[in-house]
Amino acid sequence: MALILFDFDGVLADTLEDMLQFGQEVCDELGVNHIVVQNDLRNLEVMSFATYGRACEVPEDLVDEFVRRCLLRFAGKKSPPEIFKGMDEVVRKLAENNVIAIVTGNTAENVNAFLVEHGLDGHVRAIYGVDSPGSKAEKISLARSQFAKNGEPVFVVGDTLSDASAAKEASVKSITVSWGHQNAEMLIRAESDYFVDSARTLTEIFT
C-alpha cells in the first residue's frame, strides 16, 4: 500500500481555460491593465493563485483579493471542471489498494464538488486545500503522518516544478505528469522521480 497525493488543477481537473478566463476577469475588475496569456501560468516557478496574480502584474496589496475572487469564481461555476481523460479510472483503480488524498492550491470545497460530480468522493480520503494551514510540503508531511504511519511509501503526483520541489522538501517520491499547466522546459527542471505522459502509464507505476 502507498499514500498517493494528487495535485488538483492540471492533474485531475482541466482548469486551464477557467484559470485564464477568471484571471482576466479579476484583473479587469481590479483595474489591472494586463492581458492574461497562457505563459502567465506556464512559466511560474511556484504554481499558486498568488504567484499567478503577480505574473498578471497585480499589485502586491491586491494579490490576496485576486486570489479570493478567482476562488469564488471556481466555487460559483454551474458545474465543476472536466476531469482529464482517464484520470477517473486511475483514481478508482489506485484507491483499491492505496490511500488517495489531494494536496492543492484550490479550496477543499471546490475540490469536493469536483469529486462528487465525477463520482470520486468515496475514493479520496482527505483534501488539503489552500484553506488548510501550511506550505505544500508541510501538508504533504501532515498527510504522511496521518496515513503512512508505518513507513508506507508516499508519492506526490503533480504537474509543476513546485510540486516536485515540495515532494523533495518533504522527502517523498514525485511523479510529474505532462498534461498540466506548466511548460516542458519547466517540467524537465523538476527532476522528478517519474515523468508520465498518459493516465495508463501513471497506473503502471503502482502495479
Longest pairwise C-alpha distance within the chain: 52
- Bridge partners of 154, per DSSP, are 3
pLDDT (0 to 100) of residue 128: 97
C-alpha cell at 170: 518533504
Strand order in the sheet with 3-6: 126-128, 99-103, 3-6, 154-158, 173-177, 194-196
Q: What is the pLDDT of residue 47?
A: 85
Residue 110's H or E segment, with its range, is helix 108-117
Query: Pseudo-torsion of CA 100, 102, 107, 110, nearest 10°?
Result: -50
Give the Cβ contact number of residue 56 at 10 Å: 21
Q: Is the pTM of this model over 0.75?
A: yes
Q: Which fold has domain 3-14+80-204?
A: Rossmann fold (3.40.50)
Delimit the domains of the chain by residue range: 3-14+80-204, 16-76
Q: What's the pLDDT score for residue 187? A: 82
**Contact present, 134 and 170 (Cβ < 8 Å):** no
What pLDDT, on a 0 to 100 scale, did the predictor assign at position 109? 93
Position 44 scores a pLDDT of 85
C-alpha 78/C-alpha 146 separation (Å) is 34
Task: Name the stretches of the chain with pLDDT < 50.
Answer: none
Each residue's pLDDT tens digit, 135-158: 999 999 999 999 998 999 999 999
pLDDT, residue 75, reads 87
At which residue does the C-alpha cell 488548510 appear?
132
- pLDDT per position as a tens digit, 182-193: 887 788 878 899
CA-wise closest residue to 25 among 79, 60, 78, 76: 76
